[in-house]
């Protein structure tokens, strides 16, 4: 559990982190070692879910050394399916991280939505539905490893 207080917003108690895979933590289906190390650190405090249509068919192999759960989303109505997954595990205790238009609804529903730009860019819809926008998934994970950074940005 990750617990912190944001002045003017309230107490945040996160148990889950839901990541979009492609464009967010993977580029061309690959996850860098640096990102893997941070994911493993993060998994000490949060249950990590990777949502993916597995376009490249390589996801199990890619994440075999990581402590997380892969959730395969069939490539139809992805936006709604990703949102429904966040609702199922509990939106109040979930942070969602994504870049694409099909991440907009899950970022909107999650207690904290983080949009990442990375090298594929982020959809305008997703940016508008995010609480926070960062350059990279590495920056997003650093926020969760140092939640005072989230407090600094979101306090009112």
Q: Does 118 bind Mg ion (CB under 5 A)?
A: no
Q: Does 137 bind Mg ion (CB under 5 A)?
A: no
Report the C-alpha gap between 51 and 21 in whole angstroms: 6
For Mg ion, which is the closer residue by CB, 9 or 70?
A: 70
Q: Does 23 bind Mg ion (CB under 5 A)?
A: yes
Q: Out of 16, 99, 126, 137, which residue is the one contacting Mg ion (CB under 5 A)?
A: 99
Q: Does 100 bind Mg ion (CB under 5 A)?
A: yes
In the chain, the largest separation of any two C-alpha atoms, in whole Å, equals: 44
For Mg ion, which is the closer residue by CB, 53 or 145?
A: 53
Tokens 């990279």, residue located? 136
Strands in 47-52's sheet, in edge-to-edge order, are: 69-72, 47-52, 16-20, 94-98, 112-116, 132-134
**In the complex, which residues of this chain contact Mg ion (CB under 5 A)?**
20, 22-23, 99-100
């Amino acid at each position: 559990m990750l617990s912190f207080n944001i002045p003017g917003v309230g107490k945040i108690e996160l148990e889950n982190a839901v990541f979009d895979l492609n464009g967010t933590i993977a580029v061309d289906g690959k996850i860098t070692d640096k990102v893997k190390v941070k994911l493993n650190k993060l998994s000490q405090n949060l249950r990590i879910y990777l949502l993916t249509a597995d376009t490249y068919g390589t996801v199990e192999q890619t994440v075999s050394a990581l402590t997380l759960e892969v959730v395969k989303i069939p490539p139809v109505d992805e936006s709604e399916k990703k949102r429904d997954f966040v609702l199922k595990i509990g939106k109040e205790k979930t942070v969602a991280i994504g870049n694409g238009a099909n991440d907009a609804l899950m970022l909107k529903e999650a207690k904290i939505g983080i949009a990442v730009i990375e090298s594929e860019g982020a959809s305008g819809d997703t940016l508008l539905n995010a609480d926070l926008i960062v350059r990279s998934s590495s920056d997003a994970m650093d926020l969760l490893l140092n939640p005072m950074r989230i407090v600094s940005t979101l306090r009112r």
